[in-house]
């Protein structure tokens, strides 16, 4: 690895280069006016090329040290090689010098896997919508809410005609219904859940009784 972008006029004598105070002087100055017709100023030329080459040399050194994709940094590199060198150097800096993000530190992080998101204990990874699952809901009389991790809660109303009523859940559980319950709303009448499935349940109770039901699953 080598940086062949070298500094210019490293051994220039004091009288052969414009001083910094003269170069940085306010307008009008040799720097602000630039070249004018006539004999070129070797002092101005050397100052300009010295400053420009110092910056280029510093960039070359940085690229040479921070990446290994391009073996040598030279003035003959094709555009794609320059881009590759920059990409590799920046990736190295990001990968080695940026702190791990926490709740108190701004830095880099990675996306959590779905099992990590479900466990809910990791503090060094970011969540994505796919980690959380589809967070949908229907806030109606017969509705549902799909929560992070896959938990689904559902609720509704149904009337027991001829002592039973078949309830179809607003959203079929993808796997199973873990728990279901119901209560009569007229004069504290009792009711019972006689069957459950991923798509619905059957409530039995007093004829023409209004019931409110609740179910949980995933």
DSSP codes joined into one string, 10-27? TT--GGGS--HHHHTPPS
Q: CATH number of the domain at 174, please.
A: 2.60.40.3940
Same domain? 90 vs 105: no
* pLDDT band, very low/low/confident/very high, at 187 (cuts 50, 70, 90): low
Chain position carrying tokens 């796997």? 175
Q: What are 73's two structure tokens?
A: 């940094």
**pLDDT tens for residues 75-88?**
999 999 999 999 99
Boundary (domain end) residue, out of 131, 153, 185: 131
**Of 80, 97, 114, which one is at a domain's C-terminal end?**
97
Q: Tally the domains of the chain.
A: 3
pLDDT tens digits, one per residue of 192-207: 999 999 999 999 988 8
Contact present, 188 and 171 (Cβ < 8 Å): no
Tell whether 63 and 115 lie within a shared domain: no
Tell me the pLDDT tens digit for each residue of 133-165: 777 899 999 999 998 878 999 999 999 888 899
Q: Look at the pTM and tell me if it is higher than 0.85.
A: no
Q: Which residues touch 201 (CB under 8 Å, ≥6 apart)?
A: 166, 167, 169, 177, 180, 193, 194, 195, 213, 215
């Amino acid at each position: 690895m080598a940086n062949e972008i070298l500094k210019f006029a490293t051994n220039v004598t004091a009288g052969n280069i414009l001083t910094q105070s003269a170069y940085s002087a306010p307008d009008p100055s040799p720097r602000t006016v630039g070249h004018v017709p006539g004999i070129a100023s070797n002092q101005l030329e050397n100052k300009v090329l010295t400053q420009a080459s110092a910056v280029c040399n510093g960039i070359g050194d940085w690229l040479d040290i921070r990446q290994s994709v391009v073996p040598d940094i030279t003035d003959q590199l094709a555009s794609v090689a320059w881009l590759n060198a920059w990409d590799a150097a920046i990736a190295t800096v990001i990968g080695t010098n940026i702190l791990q993000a926490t709740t108190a530190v701004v830095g880099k992080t990675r996306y959590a896997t779905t099992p990590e998101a479900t466990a809910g204990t990791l503090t060094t990874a970011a969540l994505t919508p796919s980690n959380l699952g589809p967070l949908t809901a229907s806030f109606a009389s017969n509705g549902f809410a799909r929560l992070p991790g896959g938990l689904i809660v559902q609720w509704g109303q149904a009337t027991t005609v001829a002592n039973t009523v078949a309830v179809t859940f607003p959203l079929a559980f993808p796997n199973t219904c873990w728990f279901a319950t119901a209560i009569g709303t007229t004069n504290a009448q009792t009711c019972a859940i006689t069957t459950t499935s991923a798509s619905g349940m059957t409530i039995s109770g007093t004829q023409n009784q209004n019931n409110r039901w609740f179910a949980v699953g995933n």
